[in-house]
Copies of this chain bind each other. A is one copy, B any other.
Amino acid sequence: MSTSRDAQLTARAAKVIPNGMWGHMATRSITAGYPQFFQSAQGCRVTDVDGREFIDFMCAWGPNVLGYQNERVDQAALAQLARVDSGNGPTEALVELAELLVSTLDNAAWAMLQKNGSDATTVCVTVARAATQRRKLVVVRGAYHGAVPWCSPSLVGVTAEDRAHILYCEWNDPASLEAAVAEAGDDLAGIMITAFRHDLGRDQEMPTVEFLSTARALCDKKDALLILDDVRAGFRLDVRGSWAAYGVSPDLAAYSKAIANGWPLAAVVGSERAREGAGKIFTTGSFWYGAASHAAAIETIKILRDTDALAHTFRMGDRFRAGLDRVTAVHGLKLRQTGPSVMPMVLFEGDADLKIGNAFCLAALNHGVYLHPKHNMFLSAAHTEADIDQALAAAELALQDIARAGVIKG
């Protein structure tokens, strides 16, 4: 019987939480053997409740973009906390943050703030419907836009009506997008597309200019709104928004995760065209005006805008990617490494059942590296060359372990 702290907490949790844990942080969904509970985090390292420290490649599943406990961000938030967080109204920080989002993000004329990524995507849909007075939303099949009934990856507890006006197209397939738009007829409110295809358990795909341009042209033609769901990738690929380099501007964009380096926040920004619709809807939350997270976001975005942080993170991602190819090739293995190197998906060729991937990630855990076998990972600006090289050395040891165990060749 295990007497680890993690096992003890897991047993306690099983009594007072359905299934012991809910949602994306239920680590049983990664593969058996991952720790569920953590005690601390600093820079690019996380420590579980049994005191095992890992070089982290999940970054809290996205929020940590500058490194855990970033001093500038946390000092700004703590200084704000000492004045007021939730009061009878917002503070100057809300206005300053809205101004910063508008000046930083492509095609943003205004901003509204929330707490969850699902809040932001839902507000985008509601604004699109209010602005167009139409109902249909086209999304890409399999894309994750949140965990509320209209878009949850699970249909349990969801009714057919929750998705009555959602139409589906295929990723990077302009013809299927055109077909979905045609199906919407004169009832098209908008098209929502993620920054890139970052679906679970499969190769990631960057958008083609043709796909995004088709979406933009269809929205223009139909007087509908193009919505960028940048919740997962926003403030990681490009501080101007993840489509800025493609020359395709959204009418609405949803942000969360990395926007405040781990402080809870989400945001919607929109174009002038969407402003009137946004002003008509009623959307709110008790903590959406909380100033500490606003202060954290201001500092996070300024660092990302004014420093080398993102470029550095890409260099670290590229170094990690090249190193993984190198250490796996020694064992005659080929990797499928897809997506931006700062949000890498790493799958083993010919490993559909993830037998190799799961074994490799578990072995890497034992050597002090926290990876994910089937979800895109995340790097932060706190990763140094030394961290990457240490992680690669651990990966080599992990590969040797699973070779000895007969999972791969020696």
Interface residues of A (CB under 8 A from B): 9, 12-13, 15-19, 21-25, 27, 35-41, 46, 48-49, 56, 58, 60-64, 68-69, 74, 78, 81-92, 94-95, 98-99, 101-102, 109-112, 115-119, 122, 125-130, 135, 147-150, 152-154, 156-159, 161-162, 164-165, 256-257, 262-264, 270, 275-290, 293, 370
Please judge, given known A-B contacts A86-B60, A149-B122, whether A156 and B39 are in contact too, CB under 8 Å. no
Contact across chains for A284 and B165 when beta carbons are under 8 A apart: no
**Which residue of B56, B63, B88, B94 is within 8 Å of A56 (Cβ)?**
B88
Contact across chains for A86 and B63 when beta carbons are under 8 A apart: yes
**Which residue of B25, B85, B89 is within 8 Å of A90 (Cβ)?**
B25
Q: How far is it, in angstroms, between the C-alpha of A78 and the C-alpha of B152 when the chains are bound?
A: 33
Contact across chains for B23 and A90 when beta carbons are under 8 A apart: no
Contact across chains for B61 and A286 when beta carbons are under 8 A apart: yes
Q: How far is it, in angstroms, between the C-alpha of A99 and the C-alpha of B262 when the chains are bound?
A: 25
**Which residue of B49, B115, B149 is within 8 Å of A287 (Cβ)?**
B115
7 A-B pairs (CB sep. < 8 Å): A36-B90, A49-B92, A60-B86, A86-B264, A129-B157, A130-B156, A157-B277
A285 to B, closest residue via Cβ: B116
Contact across chains for A83 and B118 when beta carbons are under 8 A apart: no
Contact across chains for B13 and A98 when beta carbons are under 8 A apart: yes
Contact across chains for A264 and B290 when beta carbons are under 8 A apart: yes
Q: How far is it, in angstroms, between the C-alpha of A147 and the C-alpha of B287 when the chains are bound?
A: 13
Q: How far is it, in angstroms, between the C-alpha of A209 and the C-alpha of B390 when the chains are bound?
A: 65
Which 9 interchain pairs have the tightest Cβ spacing? Answer: A23-B284, A154-B282, A264-B287, A18-B279, A126-B157, A130-B157, A18-B278, A161-B164, A19-B279
Contact across chains for A38 and B98 when beta carbons are under 8 A apart: no
Please judge, given known A-B contacts A154-B282, A256-B286, whether A68 and B89 are in contact too, CB under 8 Å. no
Q: How far is it, in angstroms, between the C-alpha of A283 and the C-alpha of B146 when the chains are bound?
A: 9
Which residues of chain B come closer than 8 Å to A35, judged between CB atoms?
89
Contact across chains for B87 and A38 when beta carbons are under 8 A apart: yes
A275 to B, closest residue via Cβ: B18
Contact across chains for B283 and A257 when beta carbons are under 8 A apart: no
Which residues of chain B come closer than 8 Å to A148, judged between CB atoms?
122, 148
Q: How far is it, in angstroms, between the C-alpha of A16 and the C-alpha of B149 when the chains are bound?
A: 30
Extra inter-chain contacts (11) besides given A23-B284, A61-B88, A126-B158, CB under 8 Å: A9-B92, A18-B276, A19-B279, A22-B284, A40-B83, A41-B88, A115-B287, A117-B286, A161-B161, A162-B162, A264-B293
**Which residue of B48, B81, B256 is within 8 Å of A74 (Cβ)?**
B81
Q: How far is it, in angstroms, between the C-alpha of A135 and the C-alpha of B18 when the chains are bound?
A: 21
Q: How far is it, in angstroms, between the C-alpha of A122 and the C-alpha of B153 when the chains are bound?
A: 16
Contact across chains for B117 and A63 when beta carbons are under 8 A apart: no
Contact across chains for B281 and A111 when beta carbons are under 8 A apart: no
A82 to B, closest residue via Cβ: B69
Which residues of chain B come closer than 8 Å to A13, judged between CB atoms?
94-95, 98
Please judge, given known A-B contacts A68-B87, A78-B78, A86-B262, whether A284 and B39 are in contact too, CB under 8 Å. no
